[in-house]
Structure 1
C-alpha cells in the first residue's frame, strides 16, 4: 500500500499538482481506495459460496475534510445549469455582477 501511495505522490509532484509543505491546517491527508473489478463467487470457511468484490488496484485520493473546516463556506453558490437556462428563456440579455467591475452584459443570440 505504501508503494502505491509513494508512486502516486511522486507522479503528482512531477506534474506539479502538489508540492512539499510543512504541516499546517491546510494539509490534506491521502486516502487509498480500492478499485473494484466486478463480483466473483468464492467459498468461505464453511464452504459456502459468497459473492465478493475483487480488487484490481488502488486509487489514491485526497481527503479535503480538513481543508473544508479551515476555510469559509461560500454563501453565493452558482445555481444549477437547468435553473440558469429556465431563467434565461425568452431573455435577450444576461446580466451578472463581477466584484471588480460591477455589472456585465452578455448578448444572447436569438437562436439560443
Structure 2
C-alpha cells in the first residue's frame, strides 16, 4: 500500500493523535463531575492541507444519508453492509502517487492506494461505487460512501 521514496515536492507531515473512545465522567480538583473522552489508542493522521489547497475540487454530488434511508421505507427486508477499508481499494494514478508522500522518522513514503484526508477522496470513492453498482442502484441497493444498504 505504501512504498519508500527519496523525495517529493508534496511531502506532508504526520501527526499521531489520541483515538477518541467513549465518554466517562471524572472528578476534577474541585470534586466536580466532568465529562471526559477516554483515549483508546493512537492513530496516525496525515496533514494534506497544502495538497488539498492546490487540488482542483471535484464537485460530484454526494448523497444524503436520509435519502438513502427513505428508500428503505416499505421494504420487507434490508441489510446494511460496511465497505471495510473502501478507500484503500482504489489505486492512485502512478503519476500522482508522489503527491501522497508523507514523512516519518524512518523515511518518506508514498501511497499506492487512496489514503484518507485527500479532499477529493470521498467523491472519487462514491463515483467508483456508482459505476460498479449502477445497474442495481435504486432498485435493490443504495450506496452512501462506504456504506451499502441492500433491499
Which protein has the larger Cα radius of gyration, Structure 1 or Structure 2? 1
TM-score bracket for this pair, using the shorter chain length: 0.3 to 0.5
Task: State TM-score, norm by structure 1.
Answer: 0.45
